[in-house]
Amino acid sequence: ITCGLIFILGVVLPLGLCKGKSYENYKVYQVTPDKDEDLAVLIPWTEKENVDFWDTSSQPRIMVSPEEQANFEEFLQLKNLPYSVVIDNVQITIDRERAEQDARKAARGVSPRHVTEDFDHFWSYTEINTYVRRMATENPQYVTLMNLGETFEGREVLGLRITAPGNDAQRPIIYIDATIHAREWIAPMVAVYLIHELAEHTADHLSVLENVVWIIQPIVNPDGYEFTYAEDGDRFWRKTRTINENSACLGVDANRNYDHYWANGQSAGECTLTYAGTAPFSVAESRIVRDVVLTNVDRMKLYISLHSYGSLFMYPFSSHSNVMPENFRFQHEAGDVFAKGVFSVNQTPYQVGNGAGILGVSSGTSKDWTYSGPGIPLSYTLELPRGGSGGFDPPPSAIEGVVSETFVGLRDIAGFVIEKYYPISANSEAKATPDNAH
C-alpha cells in the first residue's frame, strides 16, 4: 500500500502503511522546439499529476510516468515538437545516487572525517543542523546561531549570522537561503560550504567578513527535505508537507507563496507541484523567510535563493514576461560579477537575466517579492548546475566542484555589494548608494 490520505467525518487520516515512491520506468524527455513560442502548447501538461517539468527553459526536461508516456509522445509528434529521451529509467538514476551516497559514507567508517574533507555526499537535515550548531559554538566571535522558527511538522529552522567582530551596525546584509524546494539537494550543500569557508577559514575572507553581515539559512523546507531522504518518502518531492484542507494531496510550493502576484495565472489544484497555497504566506516556510527579510530590511542589499537546476542567475521579474525591474542594468551588472567568478574556477557558464525571460513565467516567487515589496535592490534566484549524466542533481562525486566554484561567485558578488554600499576609507564613515539602485 502506498502513502495516501483518506477522509473520515471530515478528518484527514493516513491510508495504510507507506513505502517509498518508485520511479521505475519513468522517463525524462528533453523537448527542443524550433521556436520558443512553440512551448506554449506544453502548458496544459504542467497541470498533470504524472508529468513533472524539471525545468521550464527553452529546452525543458520533463519527467513522465509510464502511464502517460504514449500520450505524451503522441502529443509531441502531433505538434511537431522535436524531443529526445535523456533518462530512460529514472529509478536507476536514483538508485545510482543512493549507492554512491552509501559507499562514500561507508568509506569514512565509524568516525566521520572533518567537514573540510566531507563534501563528498549530500548531507541530511540532521547533519546540517549539527554542523550549523557546531559552527556557532566553535566560532562565537564570528558566528551567531539563529533559531528562525518551526515548520508545519514541528522541525526547527536554523540559520547563522556571520560577520567579523566589531561594530557591524552599518555593514550591508546579505541573505542566502536554500532548499525551499525539497528535492534540490545541491542547494543546501552550497549554503553549508559557504558557512564552512566563512566560519572555518576566516583569515582567508576578512574583506567579506569585516564589511558584510551574512545571514545563511541552509534549509527553508526541512519537512520536505527529510521526506526526500526517508525510506517511505519521495526523492522528487518538491513542496512543503502541509496538510491541505479537504484534499488528499499534501504540500504547498513555498516559492509560489510570496505576496507578489500570488497565484496569478496558476492552477489552484492542491495536487499540482506548483500549488500556491490558500493565501500569500500561508505556510510557515515562506513566513520565516519573510520575517528574516523584514527584520533586516534597512540594511539588506542582496538576497539570493539557491535552487537547482539550470546554471542560471535570475533577477526579477518572473511574474511577467515583459516587465523588468527599474534597476535591471544594476542587477545584471552584479549578476555578471557572480557569473565571472564561477567561470574562473571550472569554466562553468551561467546565464544572467530576468526570471521570466530565461526560465519562464511564475508568480509568487521569493525574489520578486523581496525586490518589489521590501525593496531589496539585488534580489536573485540562483539555479545551480544539473547532474552531468542528465540527473536532477550532480552526483555526489561532483558536489565539491559545484560548491567551491559557487562560493567564488558568492564571494565576488559580496565584493560588489561592499563596493557599492560600504566603501571604506581611512577616516570616513560615508556610505554610497549607487545610481538607480534603490
My answer on whether 73 and 127 are in the same domain is no
- Rounded to whole angstroms, the Cα distance separating 417 from 71 reads 50
Sort strands 300-308 and 378-384 into parallel, antiparallel or unpaired.
parallel
48's grid cell: 498533470
One-letter amino acid for residue 361 of the chain? V
- My answer on whether 52 and 141 are in the same domain is no
Q: Provide the residue type at 276 as one letter.
A: A
Give the C-alpha separation, 413 to 176, whole Å. Answer: 12
Residues 142 and 58 placed together within one structural domain of the fold: no
What domain range includes position 183?
Answer: 118-421
Q: Is 12 within a domain?
A: no
| Confidence (pLDDT) at 255 | 98
Asked, for residue 20, whether it belongs to a domain, the answer is no
pLDDT digits (tens, 9 = 90+) for 274-333: 999 999 999 999 999 999 999 999 999 999 999 999 999 999 999 998 899 999 999 999
pLDDT band at 19 (very low <50, low <70, confident <90, very high): confident
The residues pairing with 51 across neighbouring beta strands, listed in sequence order, are 64
φ, ψ dihedrals at 329, nearest 5°: -65, -40
pLDDT bracket for residue 203 (50, 70, 90) = very high
Higher pLDDT residue, 400 or 39? 400
Residue 15's pLDDT band, with cuts at 50, 70 and 90, is very low
Tell me the H-state helices in 121-178: 125-138
Say whether pLDDT at 8 is over 50. no
Confidence of residue 141 (pLDDT cuts 50, 70, 90): very high
**Claim to verify: residue 148 and residue 30 sit in the same structural domain:** no
Residue 430 lies in a domain: no
Q: Residue 207: what pLDDT?
A: 96
Task: Provide the pLDDT confidence category of residue 429 given band limits of 50, 70 and 90.
Answer: very low
Q: In Å, what is the CA distance from 338 to each residue of 7, 315, 381?
A: 49, 12, 12
**So what's the pLDDT on residue 295?**
98
pLDDT tens digits, residue range 48-96?
A: 889 999 987 788 999 999 999 999 999 999 999 999 999 999 999 999 9
61 with 182, same domain: the answer is no
Contact in structure between 338 and 383 (CB atoms under 8 Å): no
**DSSP of 384-399:** E---TTS-SS--GGGH
Whether residue 128 is found in the same domain as residue 256: yes
* Residue 110 CA neighbour count, 13 Å, CB half: 0
- The whole-number pLDDT of residue 428 equals 35
Question: Which tens digits make up the pLDDT trace of 91-112?
Answer: 999 999 889 888 887 777 644 4
Residues 133 and 194 placed together within one structural domain of the fold: yes
Same domain, 301 and 376: yes
Residue 339 clears pLDDT 70, i.e. is over it: yes
What is the spatial distance between Cα 420 and Cα 73, in angstroms, rounded to a whole number? Answer: 51
> Where residue 113 falls among pLDDT bands split at 50, 70, 90?
very low
Give the model confidence (pLDDT) of 245-260 as tens digits. 999 999 999 999 999 9
In this structure, the dihedral spanned by the alpha carbons of residues 106, 108, 110 and 114, taken in order and rounded to 10 degrees, is -150
| Residue 436 within a domain | no
Residue 194 and residue 77 share a domain = no
- Cα–chain center distance at 214: 17
| 230 secondary structure, DSSP code | S
pLDDT for residue 102? 84
- Domains: count for the chain: 2
Q: The domain that contains 68 carries what CATH number?
A: 3.30.70.340
Residues taking part in catalysis: 383
How far apart CA 98 and CA 102 sit, in angstroms, is 6
* Max CA pair span of the chain: 72
Q: 378-384 and 143-150: which strand pairing?
A: unpaired
In a domain, 109, yes or no: no
Q: What percent of the chain has pLDDT over 70?
A: 89
Q: Is residue 122 domain-shared with residue 70, that is, in the same domain?
A: no
Are the C-beta atoms of 152 and 192 separated by less than 8 Å? no
The CA-based angle 159-160-162, given to 5 degrees, is: 155
Q: Is 264 in the same domain as 370?
A: yes
pLDDT bucket at 424, cuts 50 / 70 / 90: low
User: What are the two backbone dihedrals, phi and then psi, of residue 24, each rounded to the nearest 5 degrees?
Assistant: -60, 125
pLDDT over threshold 70, residue 389: no
DSSP 435: T
In DSSP terms, which residues pair with 308 in a beta bridge? 384
Mean pLDDT of all residues in 382-402: 85
Angle at the Cα of 388 from the Cα atoms of 272 and 50, rounded to 5 degrees: 20
| Cα 185 to Cα 123, 225, 237, distances in angstroms | 8, 8, 11
Where residue 286 sits, what CATH number does that domain have?
3.40.630.10
368 pLDDT band (50/70/90 cuts)?
Answer: very high
d(CA 257, CA 277): 6
8 belongs to a structural domain: no
**Does residue 14 lie in a domain region?**
no
Give the pLDDT band of residue 16 (cuts 50, 70, 90). Answer: very low
- Domain end position, chosen among 73, 88, 103: 88
In this structure, is residue 42 part of a structural domain?
A: yes
Strand partners, 173: 213, 300
323 in the same domain as 370: yes
3-state DSSP of 248-314: CCECCCHHHCCCCCCCCCCCCCCCCCCCCCCCCCCCHHHHHHHHHHHHCCCCEEEEEEEEECCCEEE
